[in-house]
Amino acid sequence: MSSLADLDVAGKRVFLRCDLNVPLKEGKITDDGRIRASLPTINALLAKGASIVIAAHLGRPKGEAKPELSLAPVAVRLSELLGKPVQFAGAITGADVTAKAEALAAGEVLLLENIRFSSAETSKDESERAALASELAKLADFYVGDGFGAVHRKHASVFDLAKLLPHAAGTLVAAEVEVLKKLTIDPVRPYGVVLGGSKVSDKIGVISNLLGKVDVMAIGGGMLFTFLAAQGKEIGSSLVERDLIDTVKGLIKQAEDSGVKLLLPTDIVVAPTFSVDATPTLVSADAIPADQMGLDIGPETAAAFAAAIKTCKTVFWNGPMGVFEFPNFAHGTKVVAQALTEVPGISVVGGGDSAAAVRALGFADSAFGYISTGGGASLEYLEGKELPGLTALDL
């Protein structure tokens, strides 16, 4: 995979695919972590004398131009962080976009509108994606892929465009791959994985693949209730995927057969409703009331998870332990996050909700070994899948 050092971009235009998919609330960015993660590549290209055309996505507009998913606020924040103006195209292709790109001088930056406003970006029809990629290729001399959060997607600006221009991986993608290799190729042991989030269906593949490679695996979040149900326990009105109970029974057996220490909760914080002001009650994982739902792991479980984490030299964490957005149900996630800051080796926070959680709970990015920008991409890499965006950069 080529790096930025391999490209002579002085006086040239670079098409840069970033991941600027930041959370917005009432039009304001609530976490600019992904914008900040893109700065090293942008600054490196500018230092080399390039001008840059940036493409990125925000949310899932499904081919429709939705004002609430415009990248306009991102252009403003990126300008602030770079300390220089960032032009906003307000469109993806067309005569005006072409004119703005061609007018760029060395050191100038143009941000296109949300690339997913074009249905061709995510189309399963290769000819549609190719047509969009061809239009985008006219805007620049080189392509740099730095949107790690999208490399598991076979999208026009991620996969098809890279094949049309001289290309390289940005510093973020290179760093992500280097870290993930440490989790998959001869990891320093003991090796622990903590998985949470709402659905076990999102993580079956990675659980199965990692059970043959890790020493300890801890399960929290909404997905834990499918595990408890697989053990025949009452889970009340908690989130559960009943069609996957037999599959989860197989995963539990796989852990036993592989000699992996599988940690499941022993206590649960429950409430009668899913709301920020719901009254929390602590119960045993064996005694969840029928009219209550689990919204966090209990303190005993959190302590056990933390103790296991701190014995490991390599730890990967993806998915909060509970509804961390509600203060009454954030304790488990906070305890696990704190434990990751004390790992005597490398600790990796696997992007997505996990990254949002640690920042929302007051942790600095620097407290962890690495915070990934791509939750889904990280999981698919650890699952052993081929990621189209990385494949394209390897060509």
Under CATH, which number does the domain 13-175 receive?
3.40.50.1260
Cα–Cα distance measured from residue 282 to residue 271, given in angstroms and rounded to the nearest whole number: 9
Residue 350 one-letter amino acid: G
Cα–Cα distance measured from residue 321 to residue 333, given in angstroms and rounded to the nearest whole number: 5
Catalytic residue among 63, 90, 250, 376: 376
- 354 in a known ligand binding site: yes
- Taking only the tens place, the pLDDT of each residue in 338-386 is 999 999 999 999 877 888 899 999 999 999 999 998 888 999 999 999 9
* pLDDT at res. 1: 86
Residue 158 has pLDDT above 90, yes or no: yes
- Taking only the tens place, the pLDDT of each residue in 85-129 is 999 999 999 999 999 999 999 999 999 999 999 999 999 999 999
Q: Judge whether 34 counts as a catalytic residue.
A: yes
Q: Report the pLDDT averaged over residues 168-196.
A: 96
The CATH number of 187-383 is which of 3.30.499.10, 1.10.3720.10, 3.30.70.380, 3.40.50.1260?
Answer: 3.40.50.1260
Distances from the Cα of 249 to the Cαs of 67, 231, 253, 257, in angstroms? 45, 8, 6, 12
- 57 in a known ligand binding site: yes
* Residue 79 tokens, joined: 């300008």
Catalytic residue among 352, 369, 374, 375: 352
Phi then psi dihedrals of residue 271, to 5 deg: -155, 160
* pLDDT at res. 316: 97
- What is the C-alpha radius of gyration for the chain, rounded to an integer number of angstroms? 22
The answer to whether the CB of 137 falls within 8 A of the CB of 161 is: yes
Residues written for the chain:
395
- Taking only the tens place, the pLDDT of each residue in 277-297 is 999 999 999 999 999 999 999
**In the structure, what pLDDT confidence band is assigned to residue 395 with cuts at 50, 70 and 90?**
low
Nearest CA to 382 among 145, 162, 212?
212
Residue 261 has pLDDT above 80, yes or no: yes
Sign of CA dihedral 175, 41, 17, 21: positive
Global pTM?
A: 0.90
The full set of domain ranges for the chain reads 13-175, 187-383
Q: Report the pLDDT averaged over residues 224-239.
A: 97
H-run or E-run covering 134: helix 126-137
Catalytic residue among 13, 34, 129, 154: 34
Residue 106 CB neighbour total at 10 angstroms: 14
* Residue 237 tokens, joined: 């009105």
Distances from the Cα of 212 to the Cαs of 208, 246, 379, 387, in angstroms? 7, 19, 15, 21
Sign of CA dihedral 304, 305, 306, 309: positive
- 322 in a known ligand binding site: no
Residue 3 has pLDDT above 90, yes or no: yes
Distances from the Cα of 206 to the Cαs of 144, 198, 214, 371, 379, in angstroms? 28, 15, 11, 18, 6
Same fold, 13-175 and 187-383: yes
Q: Judge whether 233 counts as a catalytic residue.
A: no
- 36 in a known ligand binding site: no
3-state secondary structure of 292: coil
